Structure 1
């Protein structure tokens, strides 16, 4: 692991430790803000996965999101499954940002500016998480490995077909 990754991952994770800890402490107050998003997302999730136990209580969802963020942030900070953990954090950041910083609903210019600042700060963090989610640390990714395996298999098949034709030609010559 490079020095940059060693420093950047824990730094990126700190935002989630702080935010998730705050969400756990203040889940009742944050549930009211979250209800605007959860009231739309929960029915959609129940339609997509009818048998899944999807909680509908906004406070439970705030706590669940906080727990997911703490676990994924810990994994990212420690470098354990960093691509998966950063992707999970990115997915959890979107509803958190929409519910927590709806600057478009503010009428007070100072409050609107503050919410806009926080919204776009989260958008920047989302960009960092997306980059961390695709960072293969210089190793080939799954897509490259699949393409490489397919190309290699095609070459091996051509080589084998050529060898079989040559052997068949030799066998035919010996029988004649």
Structure 2
């Protein structure tokens, strides 16, 4: 499985690295297509610039950077999620087949749209891959359950010690009473 990961991650990342580099070199070539998606995104996310060309450059830089990280196996889950996030606006802007009237172009865009959905699925699988180890959520649940059981056992043990010491105190008090003068 490790060999498969070492081969699959670079293959999955290659389309993002090459496409991101191409768009970084010439962001104006896709800015027109990106405009209908870029405006609503920048309006909803205040930290993003409202300049479409800058948004295209940011998206391309994310694709190149996260693609390199994924290909090299560095932060693979985070990089896969970053690529997935960058793929959604790219797909909506670049392959809006439902807006195309010409049949051949519509079919071509549907194929590209579907290909990107497949890439998104691969990225989501890569983001969920724990390399054969249980997920952090699972490990947290197991640790919490073990902690509760340990606390319960400790509580029972403490209760037994307290009860035992209380019995000792009662016995000692009884012995003292026997030696006290009655009066």
Query: How high is the TM-score relative to the length of structure 1?
Result: 0.94
Name the CA distance, whole Å, in 2 between partners of 1:165 and 1:28. Answer: 74
Name the CA distance, whole Å, in 2 between partners of 1:93 and 1:61. Answer: 13
Partner residue, 2:26: 26
Name the CA distance, whole Å, in 1 between partners of 2:75 and 2:13. Answer: 13
Partner residue, 2:60: 66
Partner residue, 1:101: 95
Alignment of 1:63-142 (within 5 A): 63-142=57-136
Name the CA distance, whole Å, in 2 between partners of 1:44 and 1:64. Answer: 16
Aligned length in residues: 170
Deviating 4+ runs (over 4 angstroms): none
- Contiguous gaps of at least 5 residues in structure 1: 47-51
Deviation at 1:25, TM superposition (A): 2.2
Pick the structure with greater CA Rg.
Answer: 2
- Contiguous gaps of at least 5 residues in structure 2: 171-183
Deviation at 1:75, TM superposition (A): 0.5
Partner residue, 1:49: none
Query: How high is the TM-score relative to the length of structure 2?
Result: 0.90
Name the CA distance, whole Å, in 2 between partners of 1:59 and 1:30. Answer: 8
Name the CA distance, whole Å, in 2 between partners of 1:26 and 1:111. Answer: 23
